[in-house]
Amino acid sequence: MLKIKNYINGEFLEPNSDSYLDNFNPSTGEVYSKCPDSDALDVVLAVTSSKKAFVKWSKTGAQERADWLHKIADKLEEKFDEFALAETTDVGKPLWLSKKMDITRAIENFRFFASKILHKEERSTTMDDGSLNYELRQPVGVAALISPWNLPLYLLTWKIAPALATGNTAVCKPSEVTPVTAFMLAKVMDEVGLPKGVCNFVFGSGKETGSALVNHPGVDLVSFTGGTETGAVIATDVASQFKKTSLELGGKNANIIFKDADLDKAIETTIKSSFLNQGEICLCGSRIFIQEEIFEEFKESFVKKVKELKVGDPTAEGTFCGPLVSKGHLDKVMSCIELAKKDQGVVLTGGKSPEDLPQDLSKGYFLEPTIIDELSDCSELQQQEVFGPVVTIRSFKYPKEAVKWANTTPYGLSASIWTKDISRAHKVAAQLDVGTVWVNTWLKRDLRMPFGGVKASGLGREGGEDSLKFFTESKTVCISL
Ligand code: NAP
């Protein structure tokens, strides 16, 4: 059985407590690896190591830091298939998706920030009396990087790459639910010989390990991606210590389909934006609003196509949905469906485990893609994030109605609009209270653009220039000449 270890100061260490958490294969329900249950002492070791490494790493030239990131990316490319299979086993996502999205984007994260740091620009101004001001952007210090279970390597590297590129050192706390590819990444860093202490990994539960990390006085910056409730706890923890913090939180995103949309394309993409990664993507469009003229046509075709999606073994060809990540999460998603039924929601398809699973997958956490109709916008399912393969559909008459419903949740992460009318697209995009709007597409990523949410979906922006800003501190130097 795979036994994961912490990676601290260039060494693979058992946790101080010597206790481990079970890590389950969601396809079979079996424990297949052990994850350290680290405590505050492990965190102290990791932060101390990062602090020490910061002295040299922060003064290492940008080109050299970029070279290290490329070395890591090269190794990830070399081990691409190994990483993809590990992500699929740990999370339950289809293997083709691990390859196409998770591991590919993890590599891109390293390559992008390796290049970006070489093109860093700083401002300067001159004053009437000839004085010169210039801005220095310097690394912040030790970064605590905390990531969730849905896109484990992809989201962790989205933080590690800019943190190291800008000269910070890091302590990573991956989700205890999916720790395997982070451990493999630690091994890659060790193999390429990244200087000791530049990037440490401490595994364990959020409540103990994560909290000890966030609260450690030696941590200067916190980059967190996860649920809104956890985000609120972290925001409270860091507030009195004035740590630089970025919070990428949950979403309850609207997908608005106007009557003039290219319906075939809208349906094809809506299947993905609803159920890709079992709907366990913060950007999934879980509330679908369709203009009334095309509602019935959309509904019939959407339901028919979703019924045909293959649910099962994530390593098998043609599988669109694997299992949900854990038993606890499956139970939570099922309880949301029950709640919707109580609120008069009509389940058009799904809502149960597939019946034709082979014996070896019979204990896996599978759920059919689920579509629910006839829920009012004040029902709990329309308001709260499910983070599973469950969407609601609803018809609207006027654009302003769709915008109002889209904005009627505590969240504000993203939205999609489907229309051929470019003027309408602009107007509606401007009215949506979210951090990202996609028009006639979904999940397209340009690393140069800011990413983040408003309202309960988070604080701050990362991506491109925004990541460089977040992971550096600005200093103004004024010289009287
Ligand atoms: P979560 O329960 O909030 O956990 C996220 C991470 O925080 C995990 O590593 C967790 O550790 C850790 N953690 C928990 N409590 C902590 C504490 N008090 N102090 C420090 N760390 C703590 O979220 P999740 O269930 O893993 O992920 C699903 C959520 O993430 C969804 O809400 C989804 O929308 C959101 N998400 C947002 C984005 C975005 O970019 N906005 C992207 C992906 C996912 P353990 O897991 O070990 O407890």
45 assigned to some structural domain: yes
Give the per-residue SS3 of 254-293: EEEECCCCCHHHHHHHHHHHHHHHHHCCCCCCCEEEEEHH
Model confidence at 121: pLDDT above 90: no
In a domain, 423, yes or no: yes
Q: Mean of the per-residue pLDDT values for the chain?
A: 97
Number of domains in the chain: 2
Q: Which atom of ligand 1 lies at the shortest distance from residue 174's CA? A: 9
Residue 245 sits in the same domain as residue 258: no
Which ligand 1 atom is at minimum distance from the Cα of 234? 19
**Cα separations in angstroms, 156 against 132, 159, 203, 216, 459:** 39, 5, 13, 20, 18
Active site residue 308: no
Q: How far from the centroid of its chain's Cα atoms is residue 277's Cα?
A: 12
Residue nearest to atom 46 of ligand 1 (CA): 175
For residue 194, give the DSSP letter. P
Predicted confidence (pLDDT) per residue in 49-90, tens digit: 999 999 999 999 999 999 999 999 999 999 999 999 999 999
The confidence band for 5, taking pLDDT boundaries of 50, 70 and 90, is very high
HSE value, Cβ hemisphere, 13 Å, CA-based, for 33: 21
How is 107-166 classified by DSSP, letter by letter? HHHHHHHHHHGGG----EEE-TTS-EEEEEEEE-SEEEEE--SSSHHHHHHHHHHHHHHT
* Arithmetic mean of pLDDT, 134-138: 96
Q: Which of 21, 208, 225, 436 to mutate to test the pocket of ligand 1 (most atoms within 8 A of CB)?
A: 225
**Mean pLDDT, range 217-240, rounded to an integer:** 97
The reported pLDDT for the residue numbered 380 is 87
Checking if the pLDDT of 356 tops 90, the result is no
Minimum CA distance residue for ligand 1 atom 23 = 226
Question: What is the rounded distance in angstroms from the CA atom of residue 441 to the CA atom of residue 417?
Answer: 8
Ligand 1 probe mutation, 183, 203, 230, most atoms within 8 A of CB: 230
Residues with CB under 6 A from ligand 1: 146-150, 155, 173, 175-177, 205-207, 210-211, 214, 225-227, 230, 233-234, 248-251, 282, 385, 387, 413, 453, 458
Q: Which domain holds residue 443?
A: 254-447
- Position 56 in a domain: yes
Q: Which two tokens stand for residue 201?
A: 């990994």
Q: How far is the CA of 178 from the centre of ligand 1 (A)?
A: 11
pLDDT tens digits for 81-118?
Answer: 999 999 999 999 999 999 999 999 999 999 999 999 99
Known catalytic membership, residue 248: yes
C-alpha 8/C-alpha 301 separation (Å) is 53
Do 294 and 354 sit in the same domain of this protein? yes
282/315 same-domain check? yes
Tell me, yes or no, whether 151 and 235 share the same domain.
Answer: yes
For residue 149, what pLDDT is reported? 98
Residue 168 domain flag: yes
Contact 358, 221 (CB under 8 A): no
Same domain, 169 and 46: yes
Residue nearest to ligand 1 atom 21, measured at CA: 210
CATH code at position 134: 3.40.605.10
Please give the pLDDT value at position 116: 97
Could you tell me if 177 and 59 lie in one domain?
yes
Write the CATH number for 396: 3.40.309.10
* 333 & 436 share domain: yes
Alpha helices in 176-222 (DSSP H): 180-192, 211-215
pLDDT tens figures, 409-441: 999 999 999 999 999 999 999 999 999 999 999
Any domain includes 452:
no
In a domain, 262, yes or no: yes
Q: How would you class 32 by CB atoms within 10 Å of its CB: exposed for 0-12, middle for 13-18, buried for 19 or more?
A: middle
Banded pLDDT at 230 (limits 50, 70, 90) = very high
Closest atom of ligand 1 relative to the 204 alpha carbon: 47
From the list 87, 176, 248, 280, the catalytic residue is 248
Q: How far is the CA of 280 from the centre of ligand 1 (A)?
A: 12
- Is 288's pLDDT higher than 90? yes
Q: Are residues 334 and 216 in the same domain?
A: no
- Per-residue pLDDT tens digits for 156-204: 999 999 999 999 999 999 999 999 999 999 999 999 999 999 999 999 9
How far is 145 from 455, CA to CA, in rounded Å?
22
Q: Is 11 helix (H, G, I), strand (E, B) or coil?
A: strand
What pLDDT, on a 0 to 100 scale, did the predictor assign at position 395?
97
Q: Which amino acid is at 40?
A: A
Q: Cα of 439 to ligand 1 centre, how many Å?
A: 28
Residue 243 lies in a domain: yes
pTM over 0.95: yes
Query: Which pLDDT score, from 0 to 100, does residue 147 have?
Result: 98
Dist. CA 25 → ligand 1 center (Å): 19
CA–CA dist 146, 210 (Å, integer): 7
Q: Which atom of ligand 1 lies nearest, measured to the CA of 149?
A: 26
DSSP-based three-state secondary structure for 342: helix
Tokens of 5: 């270890």
Mean per-residue pLDDT for 248-256? Answer: 98
**Residue 386 confidence (pLDDT) above 90:** yes
> Relative to the CA of 226, which ligand 1 atom is closest?
30
Shared domain check, 329 and 422:
yes
Domain shared by 347 and 380, yes or no: yes
Q: Which residue is catalytic, options 199, 282, 284, 321?
A: 282
Judge if 414 and 336 occupy the same domain: yes
302 and 326 assigned to the same domain: yes
- Cα of 332 vs centre of ligand 1, distance in Å, is 15
Residue 304 placed within a domain: yes
pLDDT, residue 63, reads 98
